[in-house]
Amino acid sequence: MTQGSSYSIVIRMHVTPEVHASGAILTAVSETGAVITGLDISEPGHDMTVVDLSAMARDPQHAEEIRIVLNAIEGCSVDKISDSVFLIHLGGKIGISLKVPLRNRTDLARAYTPGVARVCMAIAENPADARNLTIKRNTVAVVSDGSAVLGLGNIGPEAAMPVMEGKAALFKKFADVDAWPICLDTQDVDEIVRTVELIAPGFGGINLEDISAPRCFEIEKQLRKKLNIPVFHDDQHGTAVVVLAALINASKLVNKDFANLNVVMSGAGAAGAAVAELLMFAGLKNIMLFDSRGAVSTKRNDLDPSKADLAMRTNLGCFEGTIKEALAGADVFIGVSQPNLIDAQDIATMADDPIVFALSNPDPEVNPVEAAKVAKVVATGRSDYPNQINNVLAFPGIFRGLLDSGAVNITQEVLVASAEAIAKCVTPEALSPVYIVPSVFDTSVAIAVAEAVIAASGNTRSVER
């Protein structure tokens, strides 16, 4: 993975007071090219002091270079270098907290036995009461099999846990939804479906995450048929919602009619298929999809059912050339595929004021800096460039609205309403080539999305959390 400016380290070392006071440590570290962000005394001492130095390094090799330089200073000895990313993952990132007091026997009798028996019997008589009398109404299962984790591929359920924990943390931070990671040690479609079906009574919604295509389509389809709670595959629908929101605003910026945009897409897997479906439902007429084997077309006989269906409704001219050739005259490029697929010269062949969404992570389909020299609008999936297409703009508010309304069906109308709500969070005054979607830390986004979901679902029931 690309480390870049995100490689933050903490160096613990023993130093003599003389060395600490001399500034030799700061000078030595700065001369390696690292950016020092803090220097703290962890354990003071008369003859020797334990010091923690925080810095931004390029990568692990750079950190090792810093270790060698510091150890070369007389009176300084490095104990260890810790990656700050690993430090915040120690013991996990989420936990469970109490919502009611347990101060004495009376509290215990109400929360647990014998009082709890009355609540159990009430639910037994009317199972729908579980929504209001348990955590169910505000709890989501974040389910993965570890088969398509970020840009890391099939790394398995244990390795997927940090991502699913992070997802749960985002649910809580941005929408006050209690989510829990469920990483399954199987990649069999039927086993996954049955497992989720079995645990569903304890949850108010299911968020499928990082499950590879085409299995993810079948899993979502079956679960939506079997369960009476909403099932949402974020890699598909979350991505699609934010892309649609960004494209709505980008089309305004370049003064082009959204419906008539000529779009070329790279990637026809889970995310690509969902993006194409939602853009077409929102009114877009002209999309040409590419997968690893070329243009998705009805002339091909190697397409799975999902791609075959898309081929019937996209690439109506049955274009069979390369993606570089397809870009000539196109208004929009959307990439959800692989790094370094096109270059600035390809973008230069597009129509006036081209729009480029290069969303492959961590390395985009085109260098964003080079693309920005030619394109009117450039968006990526990364946080270190403008216009980050981040699913956190969508899924917290979508689930907040679903849970509060009691809605079960996640329709295309709900997804379009969510996208429009995100787009409207960027005011006309704020809209610019480097600001087509709101900040992920804009607290108004989840609220606006939740309200849009409730209105679009036609179910206005709400509950206290």
The answer to whether 187 and 215 are in contact (CB under 8 A) is: yes
Report the catalytic residues. 112, 167
Share of the chain above pLDDT 70, in %: 97
pLDDT at residue number 44: 86
CATH number at residue 192: 3.40.50.10380
Based on the fold, state whether residues 204 and 287 are members of the same structural domain: no
Cα angle 102, 103, 104 (rounded to 5 degrees) comes to: 105
Based on the fold, state whether residues 53 and 24 are members of the same structural domain: yes
- When mean pLDDT is compared across 1-5, 122-126, 213-217, 359-363, the lowest value belongs to 1-5
Give the burial string for 263-300 (b: 16+ CB within 10 Å, else e): bbbbbbbbbbbbbbbbbbebebebbbbbbeeebbbeeb
**Which of 453, 448, 460, 447 minimizes the C-alpha distance to 398?**
453
Asked whether residue 121 is assigned to any structural domain, the reply reads no
Based on the fold, state whether residues 449 and 313 are members of the same structural domain: yes
Asked whether residue 12 is assigned to any structural domain, the reply reads yes
Expressed as residue numbers, the domain containing 142 is 136-229
As for how many domains the chain has, the answer is 3
Q: How far apart are CA 298 and CA 313, in angstroms?
A: 9
pLDDT tens digits along 148-194: 998 788 999 999 999 999 999 999 999 999 999 999 999 999 999 99
Query: How many Cα atoms occupy the beta-carbon half-sphere of 20 within 13 Å?
Result: 22
Using DSSP's 3-state secondary structure scheme, residue 205 falls into strand
Asked whether residue 158 is assigned to any structural domain, the reply reads yes
Instruction: With cut-offs at 50, 70 and 90, classify the pLDDT of residue 52.
Output: very high
Based on the fold, state whether residues 144 and 72 are members of the same structural domain: no
Indicate the residue among 74, 89, 104 that finishes a domain.
Answer: 89
Indicate the residue among 229, 248, 279 that finishes a domain.
Answer: 229
Asked whether residue 159 is assigned to any structural domain, the reply reads yes
pTM to 2 decimals?
0.88
Based on the fold, state whether residues 309 and 407 are members of the same structural domain: yes
Based on the fold, state whether residues 273 and 402 are members of the same structural domain: yes
Asked whether residue 441 is assigned to any structural domain, the reply reads yes
pLDDT at residue number 6: 59
Based on the fold, state whether residues 284 and 326 are members of the same structural domain: yes
Q: How many CB atoms lie within 10 A of CB 23?
A: 10
Based on the fold, state whether residues 48 and 180 are members of the same structural domain: no
Based on the fold, state whether residues 262 and 209 are members of the same structural domain: no
The answer to whether 375 and 424 are in contact (CB under 8 A) is: no
Instruction: With cut-offs at 50, 70 and 90, classify the pLDDT of residue 305.
Output: confident
Asked whether residue 126 is assigned to any structural domain, the reply reads no
Asked whether residue 127 is assigned to any structural domain, the reply reads no
Based on the fold, state whether residues 324 and 440 are members of the same structural domain: yes
pLDDT tens digits along 437-459: 999 999 999 999 999 999 998 75
Asked whether residue 302 is assigned to any structural domain, the reply reads yes
Based on the fold, state whether residues 220 and 249 are members of the same structural domain: no
CATH number at residue 380: 3.40.50.720
CATH number at residue 72: 3.30.70.260
Based on the fold, state whether residues 248 and 389 are members of the same structural domain: yes
